[in-house]
Chain A
């Protein structure tokens, strides 16, 4: 098995405390205790079902607007989601208006509009977790409570 070795920097105080913890929990070295602490943290996050980090990249996609048109817009994509600068009324190509809309790409449907792209990404991550739970299919669970919570938090 290939093993990597690297160094972690620590203050004097951290060094002492980590050493005490390593000894208390029966580790032969501070390094092995740190490795276990990091793995344990990530395991807990995984079990707690934290939102999945999606890989976003720039791209073009179609969105169904309020007036029925389905123009191609520029934005960021992490399938099956896209987000663009604008509202369901249409994209805002320039300017500082704080409106970003999350889109469900398979049916080009706008899901919600937020003041920041980060909120769109956070909602997409939460929805992706539902998608995973439903084996990649669109969940039959009602997403309304999730959407409402995100809209409240965006205020």
Chain B
């Protein structure tokens, strides 16, 4: 699509992932990339993927911590 450049990616970004987008998604991601100062919508997608994983990791840790506080390991009901 001509959107991708190496500028907004880590230097060792050698893999590629194909993403299909509707016209609405394409426009939305393009605007989001511009707002974040990223060179391409692809860079925004890569960032969003990393942030989603960071969020999910944090959520799982916090969820486990909460469960352990409510029911400490080894405690009896």
Chain A residues within CB distance 8 Å of chain B:
1-12, 14-15, 17-18, 21, 29-35, 37-42, 53
Contact of A6 among B3, B10, B22, B31 (CB under 8 A): B3
A118-B25 Cα distance, complex, nearest whole Å: 28
Among residues of A, the one whose C-beta sits closest to the C-beta of B42 is A8
A18 touches B49 (CB 8 A): yes
A18-B11 Cα distance, complex, nearest whole Å: 18
Interface secondary structure of A, over-half rule: helix
Is B70 among interface residues, defined by CB-CB distance under 8 A?
Answer: no
B22 touches A12 (CB 8 A): no
A7 touches B21 (CB 8 A): no
Contact of A17 among B1, B16, B45, B53 (CB under 8 A): B53
Give chain B nearest CB distance to A69 CB in angstroms.
37
Among residues of A, the one whose C-beta sits closest to the C-beta of B3 is A6
Interface secondary structure of B, over-half rule: helix
Is B14 among interface residues, defined by CB-CB distance under 8 A?
Answer: yes
- Number of residues of chain B lying within 8 A (CB) of chain A: 38
Chain B residues within CB distance 8 Å of chain A:
1, 3-4, 6, 9-10, 12-23, 25-26, 28-29, 31-32, 35, 41-46, 48-53, 56
A31-B29 Cα distance, complex, nearest whole Å: 14
**In the assembled complex, which residues on chain A have CB atoms less than 8 Å from the CB atom of B49?**
8, 14, 18, 21, 33-34, 37-38
Closest 8 CB pairs between A and B?
Answer: A6-B1, A37-B52, A38-B48, A31-B19, A9-B13, A8-B42, A15-B15, A7-B16
Contact of A1 among B4, B22, B53 (CB under 8 A): B22
A10 touches B52 (CB 8 A): no
